């Protein structure tokens, strides 16, 4: 079986492009989306997968752009890993129930996915500058 690097890049490009293209988005939300997508790798490598999933539910309503990106991250991770219930409200329970090898493998895949999010956010959100916490 040959590995095709587009396997990871394609779904990430598609979800970020779709998110960026949604109508009725203000500059603040676009800045939040870009910032969160770029910061995913650092957050994941520092705090881990379970905390990132918990962060998704903890983000306030005024942080909808960040929340959207974290949700899309888990959707892509679910699709690429084949592990069900990562992107929904059962995600934290799913992560807690994985054995050590599965969790560590998923974290490695998550880091690769987060790296792609950072790259594609820079390309797709070009022209969106500044930070909107």
Query: Structural domain tally of the chain?
Result: 1
User: Given a cut of 80, is residue 14 above it in pLDDT?
Assistant: yes
User: Given a cut of 70, is residue 1 above it in pLDDT?
Assistant: no
| 2 located within any domain | no
| 17 located within any domain | no
| 1 located within any domain | no
Q: What is the pLDDT of residues 40-70, one digit of tens each?
A: 999 999 999 999 999 998 998 889 999 999 9
Residue numbers of the domain that contains 51: 29-124
| 9 located within any domain | no
Find out whether 109 and 10 touch, Cβ atoms under 8 Å. Answer: no
| 58 located within any domain | yes
Q: Give me the mean pLDDT over the 8-33 stretch.
A: 93
| 100 located within any domain | yes
The pTM for the full model equals: 0.92
User: Given a cut of 70, is residue 131 above it in pLDDT?
Assistant: no
Nearest CA to 115 out of 40, 27, 26, 34 is that of: 40
Count CA atoms within 13 Å of residue 53 on its CB side: 22
Query: Residue 5 has what pLDDT?
Result: 77
| 13 located within any domain | no
């Amino acid at each position: 079986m040959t590995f095709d690097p587009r396997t990871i890049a394609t779904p990430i490009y598609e979800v970020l492009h779709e998110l960026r293209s949604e109508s009725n988005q203000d500059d603040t939300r676009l800045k939040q989306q870009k910032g969160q997508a770029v910061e995913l790798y650092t957050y994941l490598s520092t705090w881990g997968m379970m905390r990132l999933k918990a962060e998704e539910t903890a983000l306030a309503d005024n942080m909808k752009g960040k929340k959207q990106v974290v949700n899309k991250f888990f959707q892509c991770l679910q699709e690429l890993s084949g592990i069900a219930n990562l992107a929904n409200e059962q995600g934290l329970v799913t992560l807690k129930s994985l054995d050590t090898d599965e969790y560590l493998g998923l974290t490695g895949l998550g880091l690769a996915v987060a790296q792609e999010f950072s790259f594609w956010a820079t390309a797709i959100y070009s022209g969106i500058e500044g930070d909107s916490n």
